[in-house]
Structure 1
Amino acid sequence: MATSLLLLLDDIATVLDDVSILTKVAAKKTAGVLGDDLALNAQQVSGVKAERELPVVWAVCKGSFVNKAILVPAALAIGTWLPWLVTPLLMIGGAFLCFEGCEKLAHKFLHKEEHAADTARHEHAVADEAVDVVAAEKSKIKGAVRTDFILSAEIIAITLGTVQGQPFTTQLTVLVGIALLMTVGVYGLVAGIVKLDDAGLYLSRREGAGAQALGRGILAMAPWLMKALSIAGTAAMFLVGGGILVHGVPVLGHAVEAWAVSAGSLVGSLGSMGVNAGVGIVAGAIVLAGVELAKKLFKKS
């Protein structure tokens, strides 16, 4: 009886150890996507009233939990019964991210008047007390949750690849752990970023020259940080989406990896990022052109 109990405890310890190791490996592999997710979502939820910033972050966070609740069981089912479907689904998701990046750039630079009108309407909605702010925020939240779904799918897919071949319980535990860790981590940081200006204002009103100087510095830095995150968020769409597409084509993916290794760590990393971004821009432009053509044909019909 005692021997059986000790063996059971040893098995449990082994499983927990495997879960811990695999979770660390998966977290390391998904760290790049985490950075892109942070940049995209901080940019997505910016530009709302100060008192609405945290509710918007929380709304997107809840949407992200729902995304993970859909993706984790789906990943386990696909990995068990339809493993060949993982790559095509990722390719679709990558193409969609690239499309969103190109659409954003096209809307900003090719439709400047329309973009300016949208910005003016948003600023009016933020400034006007009579406007139903919650209703005005719905499209922003919807877009953020939609983008989160693609990036969450990438995170879950990478994690699934890490735990393939492991017992089902280990796979489930690692996937759930990564899903919770990434969601809480990303939206905790997003909440901190969007409230930087409030922290700066609070410190600037405190007594003491040091606190006031720090507060003024934070207030001066916050707008630039949000602009930088906006640029990084757009770039992340191409980098992540292009990376998915590159690695979805084994010949291309292996060639890029081999070149990156031969070129050295810094040059190889920058070069592979450049390839991912280039593929992402081209793919996004092709999808955007197809969507615009379909819209015109649909209108004519």
Structure 2
Amino acid sequence: MPGGLAALLDDIAVLAKLAAASVDDVGAAAGRASAKAAGVVIDDTAVTPRYVHGFTPNRELPIVRKIAVGSLRNKVLFILPAALLLSQFLPWLLTPILMLGGTYLAFEGAEKVYEVLTGHSKVKEEEALPAGAQGEDQERAMVRGATRTDFILSAEIMVIALNEVADEPLLSRAIILLVVAIGITVLVYGVVGLIVKMDDIGLRLAQTRNGAVATAGRLLVTGMPKVLSVLSTVGIVAMLWVGGHILLVGVDELGWHQPYDLVHTLEEAVHGVPAVGGVLAWLANTLASAVVGLAVGAVVVALMHLRPKKAGAEAHHA
């Protein structure tokens, strides 16, 4: 009996070591996958504050929490199972689906540019009031809009992560993607929550501290509205950039190489510049992606805005 117990304990120890090694492997793979998606994570962080901007301070964190819950739901309940099934049975469908998402992102960004340039807005009358004064319906609409945009960004994050661990077994892929989904959601919306509450933190520092700390608090109070406004603009640019990049990579993977080859040529032309070559190459890729996103988005915006006008004209003549 003691010998049997010792053998059992040995077996348990071996299993524990294997489990620990698996956890380490999953952690390492999740880290690699998350690092690959870092660019989109930054875009997601830049986009989200645009939806909170203008609400009263007591509603900011609840709205961020609602968007975070929606984001996690997007990743875990919809994107993760779909990505796993497609990667297992229909891997060729992942790129076209992602390109549809990129087109939607480009449309959203281009529509915001259109509204800025023309002064026309789908909610023109409501936007005359502060967002926080528009009631629960406006808050729900903002959360829905943020969650829809997050769905596209989350899909790209998950597909990039999936590509990084494509050689892993199905169960390992599922666990790794779950870790990535939870970790990135906590990171993004933790940072977003901190960004939107920095002015409140500054106000508290200004009221309860003295000297340099109080001065820093006052700078936060006066500076954060400008930062949020800048982030709102960055969010629009990020949608064009990410949408255009998805489309460039997508058409390249589908066999039309000339557009992305041209981008690579632009990158190579500036990459050799001493000290700043890497930054210039990144900027060239980013600018090219944004231009593609704006062009594609502008076509969709034109179609979406011309169609209602055409229908209205036909109804008027009838």
TM-score normalised by length of structure 1: 0.90
Q: Are residues 155 and 266 of structure 1, via their aligned partners in 2, closer, same or farther at CA, if it must alter by over 3 Å?
A: same
Q: Which moved more, 1:32-41 or 1:267-276?
A: 267-276
- Kept after mapping to 2: 8 A contact 1:79/1:86: yes
1:52 to 2:54 alignment? no
- Unaligned residue ranges in structure 1 (runs of 5+): none
Answer whether contact 1:99 1:287 (CA < 8 A) is retained. yes
Q: Give the secondary structure class of the aligned counterpart of 1:249.
A: helix
Quote the residue 2:87 is aligned against. Answer: 79
Deviation (angstroms), 1:84: 0.8
Residue in 2 that maps onto 1:111: 119
Structure 1 residue 4 displacement after superposition: 5.5
Q: Secondary structure at the match of 1:220?
A: helix
2:244 to 242, 245, 259: 242
In structure 2, what is the Cα distance between the partners aligned to 1:113 and 1:168?
Answer: 46
Match of 2:40 among 25, 33, 55: 33
Structure 1 residue 290: Cα displacement: 1.7
Matched, 1:170 2:172: yes
CA distance in 1, matches of 2:19, 2:214: 53
**Selected match of 2:281 from 245, 265, 268:** 268
Deviation for aligned residue 1:120: 1.2
- 2:50 is matched with 43
Distance 1:172 1:112 in 2: 44
CA contact (8 A) 1:108 1:115 kept: no
Q: Which residue of 2 aligns with 1:289?
A: 302
Alpha-carbon displacement from aligned partner over 1:127-168 (angstroms, at most 9, x marks no partner): 5xxx6x222211111111111111001101101111112111
The structure 2 residue matched to 1:147, chosen from 139, 146, 149, is 149
Tell me how far 1:236 sits from its aligned partner. 0.1
Worse overlay, 41-50 or 239-248: 41-50
**How high is the sequence identity, in percent, across the aligned residues?**
36
1:38/1:190 contact within 8 Å kept: yes
**Residue 280 of structure 1: which of 290, 293, 305 is its match?**
293
Select between 204-213 and 170-179 the one with higher mean Cα deviation. Answer: 204-213
Shift of 1:115: 7.2
Matches within 5 A, 1:213-228: 213-228=215-230
Alignment of 1:78-97 (within 5 A): 78-97=86-105
Is the 8 Å Cα contact of residues 43 and 242 (structure 2) preserved in structure 1?
yes
The one-letter code of the counterpart of 1:63 is G
Question: Per-residue displacement from partner, 1:13-40 (whole Å, max 9, x unpaired)?
Answer: 4433331221121111111111110110
Amino acid at match of 2:25: D
* Cross-structure match for 1:126: 132
Flag structure 2 segments of 5+ consecutive residues without an equivalent.
1-6, 272-277
Q: Find the counterpart in structure 2 of residue 101 from structure 1.
A: 109
**1:71-95, Cα deviation, whole Å (9 max, x unpaired):** 1111111111111110001100001
Residues 231-260 of structure 1: per-residue CA shift (max 9 Å, x gap) = 110110111000000100111335534653
Q: Which region of structure 1 is more displaced relative to structure 2, 100-109 or 110-119?
A: 110-119
Q: Structure 1, residues 151-187: CA drift from partner, whole Å, max 9, x if none?
A: 0011011011111121112101110011001111111
- SS of alignment partner, residue 48 of structure 2: helix
SS in 1 for 2:167: coil
- Name the SS for the 2:27 alignment partner: helix
Give 2:29's aligned amino acid.
Answer: L
Q: Aligned residue pairs: how many?
A: 295
> Contact 2:266 / 2:281 at 8 angstroms: preserved in 1?
yes
Q: Provide the residue aligned with 1:208 in structure 2.
A: 210
What is the aligned partner in structure 1 of residue 75 from structure 2? 68
User: Which deviates more, 287-296 or 70-79?
Assistant: 287-296
Contact preservation (8 Å) 1:45, 1:144: no
CA distance in 1, matches of 2:199, 2:65: 18
